[in-house]
Structure 1
Amino acid sequence: MNLSKFGKKFTQPTGITQLMEDLGNANNSGNPDIVMLGGGNPALIPESNDLFVKELQALISSSKVDSMLGLYDGPLGFDEFREALADMLNDHYGWGLDANNIALSNGSQSNFFSLFNLLAGEMTDGSNNKILFPLAPEYVGYADQGLSDDMFVSIKPKINILENDSASDASHSKQKQFKYEIDFDVLEETLAETHRNIGAICVSRPTNPTGNVITNDELSRLDALAQQYQIPLIIDNAYGHPFPGAIYIDAKLTWNPNTILCMSLSKLGLPGLRTGIVIANHDIINALSRINGVMILAPNSVGPTLMTRMIKDKELLNLCRNVIKPFYEDKAATAVRVFDEVFADQPVYLHKLEGAFFMWLWFKDMDITGQELYTRLKREDVYIIPGHNFFIGIEDDWEHKHQCIRINYAKDEATLRKGLEAIHRIITS
């Protein structure tokens, strides 16, 4: 098959396709002994799921299901949902949004493909703009989104080794832990030299893969730099406030016309509905509307229709506050406890758990690489993600990027323990 340049780029093996192929193969294998700690699938929370099923049944019993399944929405998505979401965010944060500040898509992955290629890559004047990640590691799904080659630049983090703490909350471990911080000296120097070729700054908060939540001060400084250089600031808020609200420290959510805030319904426990959300100024939203019209005609209606009444009646916020956040916070505390027990005798570092549902392990003083560990675990039907995939745009010879792995702890305790014990067995053999 004679492939185009586009075809060759998007059919080569990538970190995100490896992740999704592993997830699909494990889910379809029928093997009850598989330990899947590698995917980004949220947990199925019974109380939440019951509410979603009840809402779907109510839609089926009403005439709304006919329009949900039988009619196209406009290219920005279901109007009633966008209006309800704008009202909710205005009530909650005082942002002054209207429905035309919001665009929907078939999942966040689709949004980032559109946004990255809208703002960066080969420009009309012949120059090439890049997407700047101010804090690596970052979400593996960003890495191969660019239509142009070499479209991403990342700043290495500061690695802050934290004091041991016997506290029992989700963010503390009795074992060695650390936290990544933005190196603003390098970031400011990079922007001063290259800002004319930076199309956007992008950061996830909480961060997939590490569970890091950049501080309010770090976010404020990023916003100030973005506005200083008139560069859009993209915030991937898929795990953040107000839904699903999987943040375990103080973290304020902000928006202004220079911010592009990306949200999702997936982490509520609805990944199959593929609903991504962009909140931005009208120019960005108009551009996304035209891209949607070309690429997908219109976003699917099921997720937005399912959530509209729950948003209007404030039921969704109550669900996040009283069910979803406590569920994941309890999972985080369990993950820390099990980690402490399994690795009590080993120099393994855990990134401080501040949000989302991922553990990021750093094998600082060991010879084994994340890729080697991934390969050996896979032979035992234990799936994790090697960390080097998440260091987008960072030179390959940086040792740290090969010393880390990501684990999804949105599992039952027995599954998590089995996976961590398999890791312990391999690194001590």
Structure 2
Amino acid sequence: MKLSKFGEKLTSHSGILSLMDDLGNALADNDHMIMMGGGNPAHIPEVEDVFKQRLRRITESQSEFTRFIGTYDPPGGDQSFCRELAAMLRRRFGWKLTERNICLTQGSQTAFFMLFNMLAGENAQGEKRVIQLPLAPEYIGYSDTGITEGLFAAARPDIKEIDTHTFKYHVNFNTLTVNDNTAAFCVSRPTNPTGNVLTDQEIETLDSLARQHNIPLIIDGAYGLPFPELVFTEATPHWDEHVILCLSLSKMGLPALRTGIVVASEEVITAMSAISAITSLAPNSAGALMVSDMIRDDSIISLSQNVIRPWYEERMAFARNELHQQLGNLPWAMHKPEGAMFLWLWFKDLPVSSLELYEKLKQRGVLVVSGHYFFPGMQDDWPHKNECLRVTYTRDPAVVKQGIAIIAEEVRKLYQG
């Protein structure tokens, strides 16, 4: 089969494909693999009970059941959901928006594929524009979304060492490059993979730069604000006309329903709806219908704050303590865990690459993710990129404890030669 450039680009090896393949293989061999690599949300009984009750009400209502499985929504998604969400965002945050500022997509990954290729790449004049990632490391799923090569630009972050085994990345505004080729800024908050939450001041500075250069500021809030609020530090939700805020229902506990939410200017929403019509006719109805009542009465916020966030924060604290106990005084550090569902480990002067360590752990039955995948757009040969691992802590504590023990054992072997 002869492939086009588009076909070759999207079928070649990529970090996100490797991750999803490993997750699929591990699920098929669930008895033997300790899953500490993926981003699948936890199965929280109290949350699943809420969705079971909602699903029961949908199936008992003929009109809602028909909407759930048997009716196309408009290309921008269920407009009644968009109206309710706009009303909630106005009510809680005072944002000046309507349903015309919101559209739905088939998950966040689809939203970013649309946004990045809509804004960046080669324009009609033959000029190449890029998405600027102000804070690398960044989400593995961004890397291969560009139809054209070289869609991203990134520079090294500032590293603030908080104590012997804790550090935090900050945006290095001195090296942040913005010019005529910059199509947009994009940040995830909290950041996948590190759990970093950009401070309000960093967001405000990026906002000001975006306004100054007349470019969008894209905020990936899949783990963040206002829901599912996997944020363990102080942070304020942020949106304005030039901000493109991307949300998701996946980390609420609904990943199989593939529902992404984009809050942006009417111009952006109109463009994305047009692309959606061509590529998929319309997003699915199920996700919007499942949470519409929760949007209407704000219970999506209380569920996030009172159930989902505390559950993850407790599991994070357990894993963090286990890492300190197991890794001890080895030359390691962990990014300050401020949100999301990952711990980002830095093994200083690691004797092998993080990819080699990943392979060793995989052979031992522990699945993590090599850190080298998370630096899209960073061209320099920075050793730090090959010294980090992303570890998921959402499994049963006994399983997490076992996995961390194996990680510590393998790392100790490497440092001891």
**1:276-291 matches, cutoff 5 A:** 276-291=260-275
| TM superposition shift of 1:256 | 0.6
Which residue is equivalent to 2:259?
275
| TM superposition shift of 1:145 | 0.5
1:200 correspondence with 2:184: yes
**1:154-303 matches, cutoff 5 A:** 154-163=154-163, 176-187=165-176, 190-191=177-178, 195-303=179-287
| TM superposition shift of 1:418 | 1.3
* Contact 1:153 1:392 (8 Å CA) reproduced: yes
Which residue is equivalent to 1:41?
40
**1:307-326 matches, cutoff 5 A:** 307-326=291-310
CA distance in structure 2 between the partners assigned to 1:374 and 1:363 by the alignment = 13
CA distance in structure 2 between the partners assigned to 1:256 and 1:361 by the alignment = 34
SS for the counterpart of 1:422 is helix
Which residue is equivalent to 2:389?
405
SS for the counterpart of 1:261 is strand
CA distance in structure 1 between the partners assigned to 2:40 and 2:378 by the alignment = 26
| TM superposition shift of 1:379 | 1.1
- Tell me the alpha carbon deviations over residues 244-295 of structure 1, each in whole angstroms, 9 at most, x when there is no partner: 0110111011111110000000001110010000000000000001000000
CA distance in structure 2 between the partners assigned to 1:237 and 1:56 by the alignment = 26
CA distance in structure 2 between the partners assigned to 1:366 and 1:120 by the alignment = 36
Which residue is equivalent to 1:147?
147
- Tell me the alpha carbon deviations over residues 363-395 of structure 1, each in whole angstroms, 9 at most, x when there is no partner: 013312210111111112210000000011123
Which residue is equivalent to 2:403?
419
Structure 2 unpaired stretches of 5+: none
Q: Which amino acid aligns with 1:301?
A: S
**1:76-87 matches, cutoff 5 A:** 76-87=76-87
Q: Which amino acid aligns with 1:228?
A: Q
* Greater CA drift, 388-397 or 146-155: 388-397
Which residue is equivalent to 2:51?
52
Aligned identity (percent) is 46
Which residue is equivalent to 1:169?
none
TM, length-normalised to structure 1: 0.95
CA distance in structure 1 between the partners assigned to 2:166 and 2:5 by the alignment = 44
| TM superposition shift of 1:345 | 3.0
| TM superposition shift of 1:396 | 5.7
* Greater CA drift, 393-402 or 373-382: 393-402
- Tell me the alpha carbon deviations over residues 136-190 of structure 1, each in whole angstroms, 9 at most, x when there is no partner: 00000000000111111002101111135xxxxxxxxxxx110001000111xx2
Which residue is equivalent to 2:24?
24
Q: Which amino acid aligns with 2:240?
A: N
* Contact 1:215 1:251 (8 Å CA) reproduced: yes
* Contact 1:368 1:427 (8 Å CA) reproduced: no
| TM superposition shift of 1:220 | 0.4
Moved over 6 A (4+): none
SS for the counterpart of 2:17 is helix
